[in-house]
Amino acid sequence: MSKCPFVTMTTTAGVPVADNQNSQTAGARGPVLMQDYQLMEKMAHFNRERVPERVVHAKGAGAFGKFTVTGDISRYTVAKLFGKVGNQCEVFARFSTVAGEQGSADTARDPRGFALKFYTEEGNWDMVGNNTPVFFVRDPLKFSDFIHSQKRHPATGLRDNTMQWDFWSLSPESLHQVTTLFSDRGIPADYRHMNGYSSHTYSLWNANGERYWVKWHFKTLQGIKTLTDAEAAKIASTDLDFHRRDLHDAIARGEFPQWKVQVQIMPEREADTYAINPFDLTKVWPHKDYPPMDVGVLELNRNPQNYFAEVEQAAFEPGNTPPGMGVSPDKMLQARILSYPDAHRYRIGINYAALSVNKPHCPVHTYHRDGQTRFDGNYDGAVNYQPNSFDGPADNAAYKEPPLRVDGDADRYDHRAGNDDYTQAGNLYRLMNADQQAQLIGNLAGALAPVPRFIQIRQIAHFYRADPDYGSRVAAALGVAMAEVSI
C-alpha cells in the first residue's frame, strides 16, 4: 500500500468530517447522543453491507438449555428471575467466530461470540458477549473500520495481515485484546471448553431505586482447552465445521456442557472515582477490587431441530433487558443497542422478534403491525394506536428504571487522551508463564512477518510500552533492532 495525498473525509452527503475517531457523547464517559448522525450513518450503512449472512459472527452454532439461579443477588435487582435461589428459565445460546464468513474454518484465530437469550417470565434477556473480557475498540465510531480491517482487501478479495496490523498499530486501545487473541487462548479447542463474558458493563437496579454496574462472566465447567496454530490448521484441513460438529455431537451423546455464571458488581457512585473508566470496553475490572460472585449455572441440553430456523434466524439485542436490569454509558454498548436490531430488521425482516427462536415465552402486547413477512394473525382487529379507549395495552410506571445521572457538554471527546492502554496489557503478559509467553511471541511474529516493516516497528512500540520484555522479544523474533523503535 502506498501513501496518498491528504484528502478530507466526508459523509455520504459530502459534508466534511471533522472527527472520525470519537463518538459524540454527554461528557467524556458518555452516554452517546442520538444526534450523532455520523455514527448513525456509519452503523446503518455497515449493517447493510452483506446479504444475507451476518456482517460479523456469520459462522456459528447454537443450542437450547436452561439457566438455574444458585446465588442470591436479589438485593441488587428486582428482576423476577433472580428473586430466589432455584429459579430457572430456558435459554438459547449461539457461539460464533467474528470475522469469517459462513464457509470459513471454525478453528481460525479469532474471538468467539458468546450470545445468550434467556426466556424469562418478564421477557427476553439477551446477553451479547464474547469469549474474551475486552474488545479491540472502545468507541463505536471505529467499529466498522475495525471490522473492515479484519475482512477482505478491496482489491484482492483476500484476508490481509497488513490491513489488520495497520489498524491495530494505529489504535493502541486494541493492545489488550490483541495480547489476548494471540495468546494460547486465542483458538478455543471447541465451544464447550471456553469462557464467555458480557465484556460490556451492564446494570442492575433494586426495589429502592439503587443502581449497580455489573459485568457477567460464564466460566466453563469443562475446563479451558485450546489449540495451537498447527493443531488448528490440521483440523481445518479436514473439517471446517469442527466446532459446530463438536457441540452438536456432545449434546446428542448426553454430554451437556455447563458454565458457572458469575457477576462483578460495582455501586453506581463508585464509577465516578474508580481508577479506570468502568465503561471502557478495552479494560477489565480487577478481581481484587470487585470479586466475582456465583449467581447461577448455564446448561445446554437440546440441539436445534432446524439450523436455519433456530440458529441462522436467532436475533440477539443487548437492549433486551427485563425490569431490574439495564445497560450502561458504555459507548460501544449504546451503539449496539441501535445496531443489532437494525441489522436484524435488514437481514431477516421487520417481524424477526416473532420468529419462534426469538419469541418470548411470556405474553407479548405491542402496537407493531404489518411489515414484510407478517406470518401470524397480525392482532386481528385489535386497536393499533395508544392511548386508546378500547382496553389496549398501556405503559406501566411500576417498571420505571431509576434515572441515569448524566453530566457533561456534548462534544466529540478524544477517547485516547489521557487513557492508559498499556498497563492491563502488560499485566496480562506478566501473568503468563514462560510457555504462554513463548506461544504469544511466536503467534505474533508469525502474523506480523508479512507486514511492512514500518507497521511492525509501530506495533512493537506498543508491545514495549506494555512491557519492555514483551516488545523486545517480538522485535527479536522479527529481526527488528530496538534502536529502530521510537518509544
Of the residues 22, 47, 57, 320, only one is catalytic, namely 57
What is the residue whose three cell numbers read 529502530? 484
Task: For the beta carbon of residue 132, count every other beta carbon within 10 angstroms.
Answer: 23
Torsion angle, alpha carbons of 313, 319, 320, 325, to 10: 150
SS3 of 226, please? strand
Q: Pull the grid cell for residue 127.
A: 446477553
Task: For the beta carbon of residue 248, count every other beta carbon within 10 angstroms.
Answer: 17
CA distance 487 to 482: 9
CA distance 373 to 54: 19
Are the C-beta atoms of residues 301 and 251 closer than 8 Å to each other?
A: yes
Q: What share of the chain is helix, strand, coil (3-state, %, to 5)?
A: 30, 20, 50
Our answer to whether residue 130 is catalytic in this structure is yes
Of the residues 22, 47, 130, 195, only one is catalytic, namely 130
Residues forming beta bridges with residue 211, ordered by sequence position: 205
What is the residue whose three cell numbers read 382496553? 391
Torsion angle, alpha carbons of 416, 140, 17, 421, to 10: 10
Question: H helices within 407-452, ranges in order?
Answer: 423-431, 434-448
SS3 of 210, please? coil
Phi/psi at 63 (nearest 5 deg)?
Answer: -160, 160
Task: For the beta carbon of residue 327, count every other beta carbon within 10 angstroms.
Answer: 19
Torsion angle, alpha carbons of 448, 451, 453, 456, to 10: -40
Class of residue 291 by CB neighbours under 10 A (exposed 0-12, middle 13-18, buried 19+): exposed
Active site residues: 57, 130
